[in-house]
Each structure stands twice: as structure tokens, then as C-alpha cells.
Amino acid sequence: MTSLPQPVPLPGLPERVTVYEVGPRDGLQNEAQTVPTAVKVELIDRLAEAGLAVVEAASFVHPSWVPQLADAAEVLAALSPRPEVRYPVLVPNQRGLARALDAGALDVAIFGSATESFAQRNLNRSVEQSIAMFAPVVEQARAAGLRVRAYLSMCFGDPWEGPVPLEQVVGVGRRLLDLGARELSLGDTIGVATPGHVAALLDAFARAGVGPDRLAVHFHDTYGQALANTLAALQAGVTVVDAAVGGLGGCPYAESATGNLATEDLVWMLHGLGIATGVDLARLVETSRWMAEQLGRPSPSRVVHAHKAG
């Protein structure tokens, strides 16, 4: 049985947080082995049953780029319909958007970079060229009635360029929002952020006219800072936090990127702060254990380790 944290609120934090589950997409895209379609579908269904209201399901990137997610259309077609759950998918360009629309997607996300080095490695084009590529994608998606999210990578540091100026991150982020994205997820792709840096970046966005209601955070736990960074974001008013079940993930184009913040660890902290999520922690832990068995390795989640089966 999974024990629960004692809720002790801190002043000034949101009453409710949306946990944006990215494990089935951002997590599995970095696996060396290809996870069977049936396992992906069961993972997504289990996460939805655990109360996750947003589960990023797939990526319509060309299969040669990310072969682990080549079955995106099959995954979407096999999911159990749940009106209360959103299943966003990643699209890199108009071709990917067309495939997503054909598959019945209602939510899409584009993915940009705050740095030139990562834009070239991840998208094979400059930051300016990538924004030009995204413009018709966002326009067509919105015209079709889809919600659009934008990811921004390398917001806190880049393995090739080093520290990334706050103004540079804000400048690229605002341009993605200006295209028509509803939400911008700020990515600590290599996990080098610390709480003061998080607070400073969010303040820089606020001074540029972008409040926390338009922002989400996406932390990797490379140096064990993801929960501390999340708390700093909550204190700044952010109410959407990305996480991956079992801490799955990394980035296929940045070798120094390790796993995402584990959803179970995030939910434990949020519930301990008295923040509502709608997530059943016990079912989430059970799902994490099950997925670890499918992958043949233990979950790195601290909460899972603290609640060993039996």
C-alpha cells in the first residue's frame, strides 16, 4: 500500500496544479529499445485511469528521426476514449500536422530551441528558420480548432554554448507565443537549472508581458534539482508542470540530458503542499512499477523506491 504525505501548505502557492504527463512521448522517445504499441497504449490508459488529465501520447516526427515513436497513429487509434483526458501529440512541421489531423489529434505541440546549436542538432535549421517552419503549422492547427503548445528547449543552459542569457530565452519564447501557441513549456533540457535561475527567468518573462498563466515548466533531474526548481516555479505562479512517469526520458539530441522529473515524486510533493492534482498516487506508483517491468529495469523514482511492493 502506498502511504500518502501529510498535507502542510505553504503560503502563496497555487491551489491546483495540472500535471502534464510526458512519459509516453518524451520518455519513450529516448529508449534504446522500441516499446511495443500495445504496451504504449496500456501505459497511456493506466495513466489516464490514475487521474492524469493530460497525457502526451505520441510524436508525428518522421520515423527516421525518432523510430521509437513511429507507431503514433496506431497508438492514438487504440486509446480508450475519455472526454476528460487530453492526448497531445508532437508535430515538427506541416507534414507532421497533416498526419496528426488524419489520426484525430485534438492537441498538438511544436518544439523550438532557445539556442542555435540545439536548433541545428534537433531541427537541422536555425532558430529563425525553425520559427518560420512553425508559423504555418500553428496557423493551420488553430484553424482546425486544435490547441497548440510550444516547447522551448535549452532555457537554462546548453552543452555546446554554455549559459543561455535570459533575454535570449524570453525573445524566442515570446515569438513562439506570438505565433499563436496557447502555452509555452520552458525546458531545462540538460538539468542544470537551480531555483534562483528559475525565478529569474520567470521574472524576465513577466517583465516582458508573459505571465505564469501562459507558461509551464519542464525540468530534468540531472543534478537532483527538479523538485526544488518546481517549487520555485510554483512560488512564481506557474500551475502547469511537466513530468514523466518513472522519470523516463532524456533527449536523443543532447547526450547529457538524463531523465525527466518523475511524476510520482512531483505528485508526492504537490499533495504534501496541499495542492490538488486529481491524481491517485497509489495507482500512479503501481503504473510506474509496471512500466519498469516492461523496460526491464527499476524505476528511478524516489517515491517508487520508498514504496516497494509488499
- The pLDDT tens digits for 159-179 are 999 999 999 999 999 999 999
The residue with greater pLDDT, 304 or 55, is: 55
DSSP, res 212: G
251 as an active site residue: the answer is yes
Structural domains counted in the chain: 1
pTM for this entry = 0.95
Distance CA 21, CA 2 (A): 20
The three grid cell numbers given for residue 269, joined into one nine-digit string: 510533493
Residue 250 has pLDDT above 60, yes or no: no
- Where does the pLDDT of residue 5 fall: very low under 50, low under 70, confident under 90, or very high at 90 and above? very high
- On whether residue 261 sits in a domain, the answer given is yes
- On whether residue 220 sits in a domain, the answer given is yes
Residue 142 has pLDDT above 90, yes or no: yes
Digit-coded pLDDT (tens) for 72-125: 999 999 998 899 999 999 999 999 999 999 999 999 999 999 999 999 998 889
- Where does the pLDDT of residue 258 fall: very low under 50, low under 70, confident under 90, or very high at 90 and above? low
Residue 1 has pLDDT above 60, yes or no: no
- On whether residue 9 sits in a domain, the answer given is no
| Contact by Cβ (8 Å): 152, 185 | yes
Residue 69 has pLDDT above 80, yes or no: yes
Catalytic residue among 19, 251, 284, 285: 251
- On whether residue 8 sits in a domain, the answer given is no
**176 — phi, psi (to 5°)?**
-65, -40
Percentage of the chain lying above the pLDDT 90 cut: 86
Residue 252 has pLDDT above 60, yes or no: no
The Cα-based distances of 169 to 179, 200, 241, 248 in angstroms read 16, 12, 18, 25
Domain at 193, CATH number: 3.20.20.70
DSSP three-state, residue 274: coil
- On whether residue 7 sits in a domain, the answer given is no
Could you tell me the residue range of the domain that residue 285 belongs to?
Answer: 18-306
Q: What does the buried/exposed string (b/e) look like for 121-132 if buried means 16 or more CB atoms within 10 Å of the residue's CB?
A: bbbeeebeebbe
- On whether residue 6 sits in a domain, the answer given is no
Q: Give pLDDT, residue 305.
A: 87
- On whether residue 2 sits in a domain, the answer given is no
Q: Give pLDDT, residue 297.
A: 86
Mean pLDDT of 143-163: 97
- On whether residue 272 sits in a domain, the answer given is yes
